[in-house]
Amino acid sequence: MNTLQKPLPIAKPMMGEEEVEAVRSVIESGWLTQGPWVRKLEDAFAKRHEVGHALATTSCTTALHLALVAAGVGPGDEVIVPALSWVATANVVVHCGAKPVFVDICADSYNIDPEAVAAALTPQTKAIIVVHLFGLAADMDALTSILPEHVVVIEDAACAAGSAYKGKPAGSLGDIACFSLHPRKSVTCGEGGVVTTNDERLAAIVDTYRNHGASLSEEARHRGAKPYELPDFKVFGFNYRMTDLQAAIACVQLTKLDRFIAERRVLADIYDARLQRIPWLAAPMRPQGYDHALQAYVVMVDETRAPASRNELLGHLQASGIGGRPGTHSIVGLDAYRRTFGTRPEDFPVATRAESQSMALPLHNHMGPDDVDRVAAALESVA
């Protein structure tokens, strides 16, 4: 490693004094749990993503769980899931007692393949989780045109804050959607999630279940006329509430989202140009009609032409002080799913290849053009 160059991480949150002051105001208020800052975040998030309702949660995983619960998914149901995604996309289906039905992805977009979805539909299909992977929205028109009306469309928009499809923001494209506020995402508060929907009934179910199943929120009770009266509990809910500490950070971050994405697009353009010199790397597609949020910049390694395997390339970057990562994993190859559901990676060739040959390069708002040149030069030096 060149000790004269600083390490270049795969991701690095962009925080400033505004976030510090927002947290300070929460601490000084004395109200730390879900409260006025959460409501402020929800209002702003709903407005930015053009939906009627946004509800903050502890993570995108719990948001997905709540979305499935709101959709009525349970034992005996099937939920279609893309084979390539973070494992949480499928885990939540299992936690509902339902069966994840995996389908392959499109090689050019990393997103779910509509033709594979059509072949996977059965009378037991209750919902589909459509992942907008790495910040590129899935082809929603192709998907919705083949889905029966009763199938609930859940967007896994973990990577897609600020992205859009044909002018409509992610989070407004299906029946209900789930976002992540993890540090690898463009907008973060450490951990956290947001559910969005235009369906008032689904929003009400999510709101109740995230708060233990209570008929009244803690803020409404404690600030009401009779704070000593406990609410009723008509369902068995969960404690999936975001704190005001997290929401304060996320509120500030959300105001910067469009700038963050614009800066990332400049860096992605430079990547695209530089990587044209490396014939064994394929840059991520950014088709017309899609506003790519660029949560990650994920290339595909052609191992038939590359001077080294994907993992060897990642090792070379690491030795150069550059933090690369695999794109994500193919869930069907994970031990728990192979043992429990009998999934076979060979049945999902595109996802299996993407797992072994995709590579996320550093992309974050602390970077400049020189950093992109450094990454490209390190890759070129392998040859």
Q: How far, CA to CA in Å, does 153 sit from each of 119, 177, 194, 211, 372?
A: 17, 8, 16, 24, 37
- Listed in sequence order, the residues at least 6 apart from 222 whose beta carbon sits closer than 8 Å to its beta carbon are none
Evaluate whether 197 touches 51 at the Cβ level (below 8 Å): yes
Helix (H) or strand (E) holding 97: none
- Listed in sequence order, the residues at least 6 apart from 118 whose beta carbon sits closer than 8 Å to its beta carbon are 146
CA atoms within 13 A on the CB side of 135: 27
Please measure the distance between the N-terminal and C-terminal CA atoms of the chain and give it in whole angstroms: 18
- Listed in sequence order, the residues at least 6 apart from 343 whose beta carbon sits closer than 8 Å to its beta carbon are 102, 331, 332, 333, 337
Catalytic residues: 185
- DSSP alpha helices (H): ranges in the chain? 17-29, 36-48, 60-70, 88-95, 114-120, 140-144, 200-209, 218-222, 244-255, 257-275, 310-319, 335-341, 349-357, 369-380
- Listed in sequence order, the residues at least 6 apart from 179 whose beta carbon sits closer than 8 Å to its beta carbon are 45, 60, 63, 157, 158, 160, 161, 171, 193, 194, 195, 196
What's the token pair of residue 167?
């002018």
- Listed in sequence order, the residues at least 6 apart from 316 whose beta carbon sits closer than 8 Å to its beta carbon are 308, 378, 379, 381, 382
SS3 at position 295: coil
